[in-house]
Amino acid sequence: MMKSKEENSRTDLKVKPIKALCTAETSPEIKVLEKHIKIHYAGWATEQRILSEDEMAALMASNEPEILLTSYDPITRKVIDSSPRLKLVVCTRANPVNVDDGYLREKGIPLSYAPERNADSTAEYTVAMMLAVMRRIPNAHHDLKMGFHTAEESQRQSTKAGLRRDVTWALGKDTPYVQYKGFQMKGRTLGIVGYGSIGRRVADICRAFGMNIMVYDPYLSEEEKDDAVVAPTLLELAGKVDVLTVHSKDTPETFQMINKKVLDHMKPDAFFINTSRGALVDEEALVEALLSGNIAGAALDVFESEPILKNHPLLKECNNVVLTPHLAGATHDAIHNHTHQLVTDVTHFLQGEALEYEYKLDS
């Protein structure tokens, strides 16, 4: 007996389960999806490397997935067109800059992303960088590891009659107590440029330290304002704060927004922190400010060009900086967070429901 078209369709679904290509870094929670779809793992998921456009296109063509799960790979028009069955793209980043979202929109293919996946991690790291540069912790650690301020043999400290035991490393102009003397956070004013999810988390943590909070964000609505003092201009903010930290998106409007004019407005004992994007800062002007003593120091996790050049003046000439290689969001927790979001939206997709984390123009 001939089968109806509906029955044939059901048979095809059984023979050809929904397929996904996963080149994303994920936590074990992704295994939940394997009960419902067939997942081919490649790229970062198996080799911890970013694939090229041609490699991605070849994988898409050979697997023909309906669902693409990616983190860092270039998802271009060529890659998208390489799977005629593609119906959903998930990028496990808070800002899916590696995906041609405009072309996906043209084709009616939704894009899911991972907003705030590492917001807490980045906020905590930002405060850690403040503490590191203001208290000169990396300098002291480095010098001890190099053997400075250490003793050749154990030294017993005697206590004078009538006094209690007094434990000090050493005192004098060439001692750690003097060389690494820093600044406390309590009572100082923190300036936050960009008062979004990360900026607000930074503010919350720093309030616990007893800092005063000022913010500059031209897109801040009345409803979004809290007890932070809002500065009318970036220059006014820069001139009034002891620590300036930036948490803005990389857009044409924010390119090198922290420039010579802003840095010249800062106090000579103020610090600058950037765990956001290197493009927000004029690095040449920042180096000049650091070398001239126009500001006290800086802590940077991101740079204009990454990896940073080994002969960059920030590395070779500036002794008042703390530098790390783009680590603010690098936690196991962030991977768990974006995997949970990924699983949530793929499940919604499979059930024919609206996506919870769909990326839109105003995201």
Residue 8, C-beta contacts closer than 8 angstroms, at least 6 positions apart: none
Determine the Cα–Cα distance for residues 282 and 254; give it in Å rounded to an integer.
11
Determine the Cα–Cα distance for residues 254 and 246; give it in Å rounded to an integer.
10
Catalytic residues: 277, 306, 326
Q: Which helix (H) or strand (E) holds 7?
A: helix 5-15
Q: How far apart are the first and last CA of the chain?
A: 53
Helix, strand, or coil here: 212? strand
Q: Within 10 Å of residue 100's Cβ, how many Cβ atoms?
A: 18
Q: What are 49's two structure tokens?
A: 């490397």
Residue 248, C-beta contacts closer than 8 angstroms, at least 6 positions apart: 193, 194, 254, 257, 276, 277, 280
Determine the Cα–Cα distance for residues 178 and 187; give it in Å rounded to an integer.
22
Determine the Cα–Cα distance for residues 30 and 44; give it in Å rounded to an integer.
14
Q: Assess whether the previous peptide bond of 252 is cis (omega < 30° from 0).
A: no
Determine the Cα–Cα distance for residues 276 and 126; give it in Å rounded to an integer.
9
Determine the Cα–Cα distance for residues 219 and 111; give it in Å rounded to an integer.
25
Q: Please give the single-letter amino acid code of residue 75.
A: I
Determine the Cα–Cα distance for residues 350 and 39; give it in Å rounded to an integer.
14
Determine the Cα–Cα distance for residues 5 and 146; give it in Å rounded to an integer.
76
Taking Cα atoms as reference points, which of 239, 257, 195 lies closest to residue 221?
195
Q: Please give the single-letter amino acid code of residue 247.
A: H
